[in-house]
Chains A and B, each alone.
Chain A
Amino acid sequence: MIRFTVNRRPVSFDGPDDTPLLWVLRDHLKLTGAKYGCGIGRCGACTVHVGGEATTACTLRVGALDGAEVLTIEGLAGPQGDLHPVQQAWLDEDVPQCGYCQPGQIMAAVDLLSRKPVPSDADIERHMSNLCRCGTYVRIRKAIHRAAGLLAGSPS
């Protein structure tokens, strides 16, 4: 039995240790915000935070997570449903097309902004490797800059 937290709630899983976190989230915990796109760590659609860092849930065996803190897109907004500044910036810039990659993009962007509160375009290019088949990259870039501004202005 593996015990860890997801979005600040304790959870447990007693299936095979080598089950990727992604499928534990999706099939067992019914948290479907993290998406399956490639299963090999290439697309970022499954990006979640483990211990505060962005990681691809499809390549992470749940067995390695005992005691870990996992944050998914569902846990990003505040308890009252108040959006995280990155989510707000995504709305302001009208980023999504099909939207499928966006939970992963947002989780990656939150991680970037925690390391680089005022990222340059080059920082964004280096860090944001998540794929978007719809080609929303132009607006993603803008939304990250906007989110940086929102975060700078928000008390925390």
Chain B
Amino acid sequence: MSRRRQIDEAVDLGRRRLLIGGLTAGGGFLLGFPAMHWAGDSPEDANGGQIGFFVEIRPDNQVVIGVAQPEIGQGVRTSMPMLVAEELDVEWSSVSIRQMPLGIVKTADGFAWKYGGQGAGGSTSVTDNWTYLREVGATARQMLVQAAANQWKTSPDQCRTEPGWVICDSRGQRASYASLAAAAAALPVPDGKPDLKEASSFRIIGQAAKVMDARAIVTGRAQYGIDTDRPGMRYAVIQRCPFLDGTVVSFDDSEARKVPGVLDVFTIDGPKPGEPYVILASGIAIVATSTWAAMQGREALQIEWDRGPHAQENTPAFWRQAETLLAGTGQVVRTDGDFDASAGTAEQVVTARYRVPFVNHAPMEPQNCFAHVREDGADIIAPTQMPAGASRAVAAVTGLPRENIRVEMTMAGGGFGRRLTNDYVAEAAMISKRIGAPVKLQWSREDDVRHDFYRPSGLHEMKAALDDDGRITAWTQRLASAGKYYRRPNVKPEEQYAPELYVDDFPAGIVENLRVEWFEVQSGVPRGSWRAPAHTANAFVVQSFLDEIAHATGRDPLQMRLEMYGENRDLPYGQHGGPVFNPWRLSRLLKHVAARIDYDRRRPEGRGVGLASHFTFGGYAAHAVEVSVGSRGELNVERIVAAVDCGAVVNPLGVDAQLQGGTIDGLSTALNLEITVRDGQIEQSNFHNYRLLGLKDVPVDFETHILPWGDKPAGMGEIGLPSLAPALTNAIFRASGVRIRALPIGKQLQEAIRA
């Protein structure tokens, strides 16, 4: 996954080795990491800046836990400290948090993480930190117990803890953590791994914890990137070239400079066509004394654009190109058995093509970044999913050494993969460097819709061969797409397919003759990771096609899936979310949602239920959707049942929120969302023509279920989404007989019924 790629230059020094204890200026006990050569320590650092902030027990028994991951609405500022607090054994109500800045340290071998990996991508926070953060908490607890035992002249095994207290029953002693802080801080950090609790004695993990920041959010005090305000700060916007890879020929800023508050206007050079993106586009920056002045200055600019190399690009031509490619032979990326031989002798062959469009991330908070670039270093404050990438981007455009670039993450108004890329951070740094002053760059919604790393678009051709029992003997998926590794550095041409087709996905290992083939469509549209990346496309295609096969063979779609998913066993899974995939866990969820929605009940004419299920990044989900379709093709989503198995559950309220949000994201995207290109420009520009779903379109009848599994959690940020779209289109087929093979659904139903 993207996250792995982006941190690979950082060297993991072995986290345990770096834990050290210390005393804060306020007399608290602090367990953290040595600061080494890092220049950007936060003021909380104890021991003269030798420890990076991590867990602090304050003299009033309040506990402050650092959060290293960026919060984008996925709930890490709640779930990560739960892991620490559980093993530390404190009252959850006594816990507050502190967002840590980017922590990287320069070592002889390159850069190392100071607090452990920091990033939000690939649903990895909870899996990556599950053991590590509990060990941090357990180590701190162990030191507090040791301090108490020393004080009472007994051994640690005579002591136990209750939240916030160490207790020795045999001596009738108890001491608050706070009272032990100084003594604990003086102890060496114990060697070896601490014992961790059995899941059965968890008091915090598995309990519903409300959003840590909720009070700040509902009172308007929560600080997002857009809220950043620093002394002397200027405001900037950029008019980016609307043509893909176009450039500035000339511009007239005489009117723009007359706008009160406008301070400066200059060009920003984008990447050359085909080169990696540091920023997305060439354009003109306007610097002003307020956001509105900058925006007004932009309106007054006269710019002549060079339309660039993609001025002829149009969405219909994109689809024709994909169709032409599918007529040929592509890159075979997985082959099991012999598809051709099996298909040649088959009783029946079913085939279908599906289209998945480009889509925009559209986080609610448009991109923005504060940058203050000085001779000797830079301060960056940004809503970002990948702060180390921000540091790299700033180093690239300023030439500053990374150890002198301080990156702070604010809360982010959504991410969805958009903020994995730090182009807007690079832009802000370019502007600040040029004007020699602190600046906040603000994107408008139009900027955000027109300039994005869009979810890849592609045309999928599916073919299945069936024997006379209707059993699938051969299966092929052929995808012609514009992939997300486009222009990414250090990716070989033969690896471009990898983020588009996850070759171990279902039905690999189940259908014996399998072939997966990829074709690259040429396009100038920038592409990137969009929540659950290619799973959104592949779940739609595969789960729709299963229903098409069931229909063609007169079988029940649920029964067919249950048979194919088979018994409870692990299949090898080599892509992100592996190393194993147990399709039976999908069956478990499917049966659950089918029962809840009363799948077997006959519905009246115009009503139908659809099911789908998918495995994404270590987690499993299923959806059942009931729709009605009116005589003129009016679609009504009547009911949604969603179920998830994300392994062990850290925060059921958070899991439920992600399942609801993912499901609604799936619905919104399937119903209406599409980015199209006309003459080299993105056609959509704001929410009037990129129509996110509103509350009125979400059925009242909406339920979510969590079916826990085992003792390890899987991340929740992405699995809630992929299976919704095919469950919806399968329901539409059952209600109306119309098979939706192109997303978004848009007006297709009305058109099909009219025809």
Contact = CB atoms under 8 A, between A and B. Distances in A.
Interface of A: 15-16, 19-20, 23, 26-28, 30-40, 42-43, 45, 72-74, 76-77, 83, 87, 90-91, 94-103, 106, 121, 124-126, 128-141
B228 to A, nearest CB: 9
A100 B227 CA distance: 11
A102 to B, nearest CB: 5
B235 A133 contact: no
A108 B415 CA distance: 24
Interface in B197-214: 208, 210-211, 213-214
B226 A137 contact: no
B219 A100 contact: no
27 contacts: A15-B260, A16-B296, A23-B290, A27-B290, A32-B224, A33-B219, A33-B220, A35-B413, A39-B444, A42-B688, A43-B445, A77-B219, A83-B218, A94-B210, A95-B218, A99-B211, A100-B224, A100-B365, A101-B364, A103-B217, A130-B695, A133-B414, A134-B661, A135-B660, A137-B693, A139-B657, A141-B700
A39 B445 contact: yes
A40 B686 contact: yes
A121 B700 contact: yes
Interface of B: 71-75, 208, 210-211, 213-215, 217-224, 226-227, 229, 235, 260-261, 290-292, 296, 362-366, 411-416, 442, 444-445, 653, 657-658, 660-665, 668, 686-688, 692-696, 698, 700, 702
B226 A36 contact: yes
B220 A136 contact: no
A20 B292 contact: yes
Task: State the 3 A-B residue pairs at the shortest beta-carbon distance, nearest first.
Answer: A33-B220, A98-B73, A100-B413
A140 to B, nearest CB: 6
Given A32-B220, A135-B664, A37 B291 contact: no
A127 B425 CA distance: 37
Contact of A137 (B219, B227, B698): B698
Contacts of B686: 38-40, 42
Given A37-B364, A38-B445, A99-B413, A128 B695 contact: yes
A36 B219 contact: no
Contacts of A96: 73, 211, 213-214, 217-218
Contacts of B653: 94
Nearest to A106: B218
Nearest to B223: A32
Contact of B411 (A36, A95, A99, A138): A99
B290 A136 contact: no
Nearest to A94: B210
Q: Considering residues A97, A98, A137, which has the most beta carbons from chain B within 10 angstroms of its beta carbon?
A: A98
Contacts of A128: 694-696
Contact of B694 (A33, A35, A99, A131): A131
B263 to A, nearest CB: 14
A16 B261 CA distance: 10
Given A15-B260, A35-B413, A98-B364, A135 B665 contact: yes
A102 B661 CA distance: 14
A27 B235 contact: yes
Q: Considering residues A91, A100, A128, which has the most beta carbons from chain B within 10 angstroms of its beta carbon?
A: A100
Contacts of B208: 94
Contacts of B658: 97
A135 B668 contact: yes
Contacts, number: 195
A87 B366 contact: no
B666 to A, nearest CB: 9
Contacts of B688: 40, 42
Nearest to B687: A42
A99 B73 contact: yes
A27 B290 CA distance: 6
Contacts of B413: 35, 98-101, 133
A15 B292 CA distance: 10
A39 to B, nearest CB: 6
Given A32-B220, A35-B365, A36-B226, 8 more contacts: A37-B687, A87-B219, A91-B218, A96-B218, A125-B696, A128-B695, A130-B695, A135-B664
Contacts of A91: 210, 214-215, 218
B712 to A, nearest CB: 24
Contact of A27 (B217, B292, B694): B292
Contacts of A131: 364, 687, 692, 694
Contacts of A38: 445, 686-687
Nearest to A20: B292
Contacts of A27: 235, 290-292
B5 to A, nearest CB: 25
Given A26-B291, A27-B290, A32 B227 contact: yes
Nearest to A87: B218
A35 B668 CA distance: 22
Given A38-B687, A98-B414, A132 B364 contact: yes
Contacts of B210: 91, 94
Nearest to B292: A23
Nearest to A89: B218
Nearest to B657: A97
A94 B411 CA distance: 17
A73 B220 contact: yes
B657 A133 contact: no
A32 B215 contact: no
Contacts of A126: 696
Nearest to A45: B364
A101 B411 CA distance: 13
A136 B413 CA distance: 13
A146 B414 CA distance: 26
B365 to A, nearest CB: 5
B73 A97 contact: yes
B222 A99 contact: yes
Contacts of A141: 695, 698, 700
A131 B668 CA distance: 11
A124 B699 CA distance: 12
Given A30-B229, A32-B226, A90 B290 contact: no
A90 B218 contact: yes
A28 B660 CA distance: 37
Contacts of A20: 292
A100 B223 CA distance: 10
Contacts of A95: 214, 218
B221 A98 contact: no
A134 B414 contact: yes
A126 B291 CA distance: 33
A1 to B, nearest CB: 15
B685 to A, nearest CB: 10
A6 B34 CA distance: 47
Contacts of A37: 364-366, 445, 687
Nearest to B440: A27
Q: Considering residues A19, A74, A135, which has the most beta carbons from chain B within 10 angstroms of its beta carbon?
A: A135
B255 to A, nearest CB: 15
Contacts of B71: 98
A98 B411 contact: yes
Contacts of A72: 220
Contacts of B416: 133
A137 B695 CA distance: 5
Nearest to A44: B694
Contact of B695 (A97, A106, A124, A133): A124
A83 B219 contact: yes
B291 to A, nearest CB: 5
A19 B235 CA distance: 15
A138 B364 CA distance: 18
A102 B694 CA distance: 14
A129 B665 contact: no
Nearest to B216: A99
Nearest to B289: A27
Contacts of A129: 694-696
A27 B215 CA distance: 23
